[in-house]
Structure 1
Amino acid sequence: MTQLRVTSERLSNVAMGLSVVFSGFMGMAQTGSSDRWTIVRVSCAVLNLVVGSLFLFRSRPKREAPWSMIACCLPSVLIGGLAFRITPAPHAWPLGAQLLFAAAALLVVTSFVHLGTSFAVLPAIRRVIVHGPYRVIRHPAYLGELLLTVACLYANVVATREPLMPTTILLVCFVTVVLRIRVEERFLLQSADYRQYVMRTAWRLFPRIW
């Protein structure tokens, strides 16, 4: 039974990884020539390639979070996707939003690459990573994802001249990320390695703030 579960999980990771990589390639292929090689589209393709590759090679978790905790973490994932869906075409983004998006994508990619085989989307106890950006804050990938959202909403405001909805989405996104961090850490603190990590790296999301 255990071997069957391991095989099933491995196949699921392979399917997810290939799906994400394929989605990245299709996103580039189906994008018009005016948008295909923009900073935003290339950044998205790189994110897809890295995330898909990490799914293929990540290790099994030592312990998985209960579904109640996983459910609390899902809203932040969905809100980030919503922010990207309401953006204008990549070529219409202001340069500032494009550069912020690229910088945020670089932070996310760097954080994920440092996770390596400990990469995960949902909370699970795995090998604790303490180097790279994880020496500064405990959740650098979430900071990068927040900045990606800010860049998307900035582009939307410039295009629509309507700040109310983007501001609301940003506030909701921030609240859901904070909730996700609190729920995840409540679970991860069951690990002695993570408790030691918390003592070494005090800041969750913003250095010297929180």
Structure 2
Amino acid sequence: MLSIFTYAAVRQWLVAPTRITLLLLVVSAFMTLGLSLFARVPSKRDWTPFAFICSVGGTFYFLAVRLSPGTQLIPELAGAALQLLGIFWQMFAKVSLSRSFGILPANRGVISHGAYRFMRHPMYLGYFLTDIGFLLANFGIQNVIVYGCQFALQIGRIVREERLLSEDERYRAYRGKVRFRVIPGVF
């Protein structure tokens, strides 16, 4: 599915090579799916239908994104800059996690260094910035619906992950030190 998506995105990019946001969307998808192949086996994982739907939908949402040009609410380069900021923040969070990264909510150990000093789920901030950059440079009703669903799925995913991790005493202590989940001062 990722290959078909990549092929479609690259075809759109070849038609309009200035649409850098298409290529960055592909890079972001590859990072997430590629790193999940090397994840450490968790001590506990959430296989409930709700967690599964949020995780799979929140990971593969890009398959529903409209790749053809939409309305540009911001210039392509501004969208690409937001995407790059999001991708770099995702990389920082994923490097901080090392092999503790995965798709489904799971306990692979409590990480409290690197990006996790600032918020409990920093990777989702990177996803949000990347998604907003693409959406604002490729605005359309389909993409608004896809990203609205994406954000709702990610919130559900965070809530399920928090529930599972809160069973761990070390995570409860960490949660007491790092108050915010994704956006300091907000959520």
- TM-score for the superposition, normalised by structure 2: 0.77
**Counterpart position of 2:82:** 100
SS class of match (1:114)? helix
**Counterpart position of 2:182:** 205
* Structure 1 residues 183 and 98: alpha-carbon distance in aligned structure 2, compared to 1, 3 A threshold: same
**Counterpart position of 2:117:** 135
- In 1, Cα distance between equivalents of 2:161 and 2:35: 24
**Counterpart position of 1:112:** 94
- In 2, Cα distance between equivalents of 1:169 and 1:196: 36
SS class of match (2:37)? helix
Instruction: State the 1:74 CA deviation.
Output: 2.7
**Counterpart position of 1:151:** 133
- In 2, Cα distance between equivalents of 1:131 and 1:193: 14
Equivalences, count: 178
Cα deviations across residues 120-166 of structure 1 (Å, max 9, x unaligned)? Answer: 11111111111111111111111111222111211212xxxx4x443
Instruction: State the 1:113 CA deviation.
Output: 1.2
Letter in 1 for 2:180: W
**Counterpart position of 1:12:** none
Letter in 2 for 1:174: F
SS class of match (1:178)? helix
Q: Within 5 Å, which residues of 2 pair with 1:76-95?
A: 76-83=58-65, 85-86=66-67, 88=69, 94-95=76-77
Cα deviations across residues 49-71 of structure 1 (Å, max 9, x unaligned)? Answer: 68525633x32111121232323
Cα deviations across residues 57-108 of structure 1 (Å, max 9, x unaligned)? Answer: x32111121232323433322334433x43549xxx7111111111111111
* Structure 1 residues 73 and 52: alpha-carbon distance in aligned structure 2, compared to 1, 3 A threshold: closer
Instruction: State the 1:170 CA deviation.
Output: 3.2
**Which structure would you say has the larger Rg?**
1
Which structure shows the higher helix fraction?
Answer: 1
Conserved? CA contact 1:36–1:42, under 8 Å:
no
- TM-score for the superposition, normalised by structure 1: 0.69
* Structure 1 residues 153 and 198: alpha-carbon distance in aligned structure 2, compared to 1, 3 A threshold: same
Unpaired runs of 5+ in structure 2?
A: none
Over the aligned positions, Cα root-mean-square deviation in angstroms equals 3.2
* Structure 1 residues 172 and 46: alpha-carbon distance in aligned structure 2, compared to 1, 3 A threshold: closer
Q: Within 5 Å, which residues of 2 pair with 1:18-37?
A: 32=14, 35=17
* Structure 1 residues 143 and 81: alpha-carbon distance in aligned structure 2, compared to 1, 3 A threshold: farther
Indicate the structure whose relative CO is greater, using CA pairs within 8 Å and at least 6 residues apart: 2
Identical columns (%): 25
Letter in 1 for 2:80: Q
Q: Within 5 Å, which residues of 2 pair with 1:16-95?
A: 32=14, 35=17, 38=20, 41=23, 44-45=26-27, 48=30, 52=34, 55-56=37-38, 58-68=39-49, 69-83=51-65, 85-86=66-67, 88=69, 94-95=76-77
1:172 aligns to 2:149 (yes or no): yes
